[in-house]
Amino acid sequence: MTFLATITNRQSNKIALIVSVIAALLVTVLFIRFGERQWDFKVYYFGAQAQTLGLSAYSASTIQKLSGSTLDLYYLYPPLTLYLFYPFLLIPYSVALILYVIAKGFMFIVFLLVWRKLLPPSSTILFCLFCLLSFNGCLYLDFVSGNISLVEQTMISIACYCYVTRRFSLFCIFILLASIFKILPLSFLFLLILSKEKNRYTLLSLSFVLFGLYCGLSYLIQPEQCREWIQTVGYIASLDGRGIYNPSLFSLSKEIVSLFRANPVDVHSSIIAFILYVLLALSLLLVSQLLSRRYFISSKENPERIFIILACFLYILLLPRLKDYSFVLILGPAFYTLIKVQSNKIKLLLLGGALVFFNYMTIPGLSLFTAVVLPYYPLLITALFWLVLLYEINAISKSTINQKITS
């Protein structure tokens, strides 16, 4: 029995899952003890506490007073989501934090198991290592920050599995659950249009109606908090955060424009950056449609799998605001691409690119490299994975068509 055959057995897979979670938890616990870590959970906990005291959860000064933190911390989600953190208030913050980290560890196990179902047969150990180390350590960053992102992305992953297995009602439910906090995952619902489900438009409409009711309920129960939430989100969106902490396509567009404008913060520069972002976004969608259309027509495989893989890549590439831990969502799609690529040289290129760690640094005389390549490296590598996957499925479709012609 070969080494690869050995590491793919069930016992090794279980060991890999356990070791991966323990490693993530240990690293997180170490960083909890040193400095201002788990800052996002601090906002969730003391934001919920503020609401029970009749104070505003969207006031940075209120969160600072209750938590004793010196950071400017803002709660950025709809008011109803605060109730989800009420159970944590029954115990001290230090204990709640540990339980929260453990809960995220279990969520990581679910995330791994779901993607193992979606991926072609391969080594679970290698997949776990890839998740722990790739895309600038995005999984590690998620655990250290204490953000709810891993929960959101696990819900999206489960929804993707439901989509591939054509359980479209469950797909809608999990996308709605994923959208409770950050709303933008709702865009995955448009995948229903590409499905062969007879009631796809009914499901799509009903899903948006249910989410509209959720938003309306938030306003009816806490109108003042809703207004504060909208103002807070608008304020955070107005901050010109760029680079490694917000490596989005929109942020990259601003960066590119600023390289060629004498005054990069004037109104004209902002308009040009927005136009550039829209053009780049439309180009990504158009290229995806053109290069994948032939595959969906000619391939005998389940097209839903490629739909969700491409959708995850495009979701990350097109988000107007992105965090360094958001790349957790494409860990599965990136590993899928590595498996599908036929050329070993391209596999090594993609793997090497995904495993490289870059933090922001200044390199004299290399302004383009310093301003664009380093801070946006995870986004650029994501684009490379997306492009390689499109190339591979386009090559497969050409081969399939040629075989049909010759036969």
pLDDT digits (tens, 9 = 90+) for 264-305: 556 677 788 889 989 999 998 888 887 777 666 656 666 788
Residue 387 lies in a domain: yes
- The DSSP 8-state label assigned to residue 359 in this structure reads -
By C-alpha distance, which of 210, 215, 213, 118 is closest to 172? Answer: 210
Residue 321 lies in a domain: yes
Please give the model's pTM, rounded to 2 decimal places: 0.83
How many whole angstroms separate alpha carbon 28 and alpha carbon 140? 8
CA of residue 275 relative to chain centroid, distance: 24
Cα-atom radius of gyration of the chain, to the nearest Å?
22
How many whole angstroms separate alpha carbon 169 and alpha carbon 159? 10
Residue 304 lies in a domain: yes
Q: Which helix (H) or strand (E) holds 145?
A: helix 138-145
Residue 96 lies in a domain: no
How many whole angstroms separate alpha carbon 386 and alpha carbon 376? 15
Residue 282 lies in a domain: yes
For 185-206, the pLDDT digits (tens) are: 999 999 998 888 888 899 999 9
Residue 176 lies in a domain: no
- Rounded mean pLDDT, 145-171: 91
Per-residue confidence (pLDDT) for residue 261, from 0 to 100: 64
CB 146 within 8 A of CB 100: yes
How many whole angstroms separate alpha carbon 45 and alpha carbon 94? 11
Residue 306, amino acid: I
Domain residues for the domain of 249 are 240-407
For 233-271, the pLDDT digits (tens) are: 777 766 656 666 778 888 888 888 877 765 555 667 778
Q: How many domains does the chain have?
A: 1
By C-alpha distance, which of 56, 61, 129 is closest to 331? Answer: 129
Residue 30 lies in a domain: no
Residue 140 lies in a domain: no
Q: Which residue has the tokens 């969520």?
A: 107
| Token pair belonging to 196 | 């062969």
By C-alpha distance, which of 180, 176, 398 is closest to 189? Answer: 176
Per-residue confidence (pLDDT) for residue 239, from 0 to 100: 64
CB 104 within 8 A of CB 143: yes
